[in-house]
Amino acid sequence: MAVRRGFNLLTSLLVKPGKIELREVKTPRPSKGEVLVKIKTALTCGTDLKAFLRGHPMIPMPGVFGHEFSGVVAEVGKGVQRFKEGNEIMTVHSAPCLECTYCKRKIYNLCEKIMWTKVLGAFAEYILLPPHVVRHNAFHKPKNITFEEASFLEPLSCVVHGIESLNIKQGDRVFIIGAGAIGLLHLLCLKEKGAIVAVTDINAEKLKIARKLDADFTFKPEKIETNLKNITNGIGFDYVFECTGMPEVWEASVTYVRRGGTVILFGGCKSGTAVTYDTGRLHYDEITLKGVFHYTPADVRKAYELLCKGRLGVSGLISGKYPLKHIEKAFNKLAQGIGIKYAIIP
């Protein structure tokens, strides 16, 4: 694959909240262990939207953003053995250092360097993968899945991380609060395990999508109590997945789980947020509250295997496609609550 050299490749820069500009940048050249990827598809995500609306502490403006993508290997650096030019590739944007205190304890998702060594800039024509990502979290894309489906590897890895630590069995009753992209990815994974899944959201269109993705029950928040009684005979759900990142929902989530049940707190609240729980409910009903963050290489491998089966149905979360020059239109739609994810095609 011939790579154009010079200041003629396009990348999207978030220059200020609500404003994205396309800039010409110098074509990167891979150093030792690196892989240059020509992006075929990049997906929007909730973190991208937050950055677009109000900025993000880890995306200095003006700065590149976007981290869910797939593509074709354009060039490899010295020492790369697993990939060669022309390979179709799917990957995530981070990997553990394997050297810090948490990595030595094999708690790879909490690696002290993982957030500072990740790669951003998927809303562009090319992206350069660093050696640690190439070694641990990059894979060959099989022919049976599309580039759009392959681009779900990163968010699916996050979802897998929270689910795989649980012993969810066929017939377990599970409640998902929030039918955004993450909530719907939880739905797909939980249905794969044979769970009976209820989903709530304030947005009727998102609930409609949840039904198309085989949710067993969908309803708006004002109907939670009635449905809890009908679905669980009043005892509560076996598992509750909080996918909104709203403090009031974090607090309410424990009221929907049965005694001995587990609440997964996936949605991240704003930094410095505090919530309050009834200690008696947690203690005497033996409720487990579990925070989940990011993923390990094992989670990425599991997510890869799930996608390769080609039966999850992740394409049902893509609400439309835009060329790179119209990326701002996609984010304006998301800001209005229209759509789940958009595929950006350079």
Structural domains of the chain ordered from first start: 7-157+295-345 (3.90.180.10), 166-291 (3.40.50.720)
The secondary structure of residue 202, as a DSSP letter, is S
Percent of the chain scoring above 70 in pLDDT: 98
pLDDT at 59: 78
**The pLDDT value given to residue 270:** 87
pLDDT digits (tens, 9 = 90+) for 44-75: 999 899 889 987 777 778 889 999 999 999 99
C-alpha pair distances (Å), 42 with each of 47, 214, 256, 318: 14, 26, 36, 11
Burial class (CB in 10 A: 0-12, 13-18, 19+), 329: middle
Tokens matching residue 126: 């090319």
Q: What is the gyration radius of the CA atoms in the chain, in angstroms?
A: 20
d(CA 213, CA 228): 21
Residues of the chain with pLDDT under 70: 1-8
CA distance 237 to 255: 10
Q: Which tokens sit at 95? A: 């990997």
CB-CB contact of 241 with 262 (8 Å):
no
pLDDT digits (tens, 9 = 90+) for 259-300: 999 999 999 998 899 999 999 999 999 999 999 999 999 999
Q: How many CA atoms lie within 13 A of 210 on its CB side?
A: 30
pLDDT of residue 6: 53
Question: Nearest-5° angle of CA 180, CA 123, CA 320?
Answer: 45
pLDDT of the residue at 192: 96
**What tokens were used for 341?**
């994810």
- pTM of the predicted structure, to 2 decimals: 0.95
Q: Which two tokens stand for residue 164?
A: 């795989």
CB 46 within 8 A of CB 98: no
